[in-house]
Amino acid sequence: MNIKILAAESLGVRGLCCAVELKGRRVVIDPGVALGWSRRGRLPHPFQVAIGAGIREAILRALRTATDVVISHFDGDHTPLLHANPYQLGLEEARGSLSRCRLWAKGPGRSSPTQQQRRKDLEEALGRRLVAAEGTREGPLAFSAPVRHGQPGADERTVMMTRIEEDGLTFVHASDMQLLDPAAVETILQWQPAIVLVSGPPLYRHGSSSLEALKQRAGDNARRLSRGVDTLIVDHHLLRSEEGAAWLDRTRQETGKRVVSAAGFIDREPLLLESWRDKLYSWLPVPEAWHQRYAAGAADLAWYRSEGWKVLTKNGMVTPCGWYRVCPIKDHTDRGRLESYWVDNYCLVSNRSCVRYQMEERGAYHADNMLPDGTTREGLSRTIA
Instruction: Domains for the chain: give ranges and CATH numbers.
Output: 2-265 (3.60.15), 319-385 (no CATH)
Instruction: Provide the whole-model pTM.
Output: 0.95
> Other C-beta atoms within 10 Å of 161: how many?
25
pLDDT surpasses 90 at 177: yes
Listed range (4-13, 71-80, 153-162) with the worst mean pLDDT: 153-162
User: How far is 377 from 338, CA to CA, in rounded Å?
Assistant: 10
- Mark 7-36 as b/e (b = at least 16 C-beta within 10 Å): bbbbbbbbbbbbbbebeebbbbbbbbbbbb
User: How far is 72 from 162, CA to CA, in rounded Å?
Assistant: 8
pLDDT surpasses 80 at 209: no
Q: Residue 206: what pLDDT? A: 76
Q: Find all residues with CB under 8 Å of 96, minimum gap 6, and list them.
A: none
Alpha helices in 296-339, H assignment, sequence order: 302-314, 328-334
pLDDT surpasses 90 at 380: no
**Which band of pLDDT confidence, cut at 50, 70 and 90, is reported for residue 212?**
confident
**Which band of pLDDT confidence, cut at 50, 70 and 90, is reported for residue 385?**
very low
pLDDT 10s digits, 48-100: 999 999 999 999 999 999 999 999 999 999 999 999 999 999 999 999 999 99
Closest CA to 74 of 84, 65, 64: 84
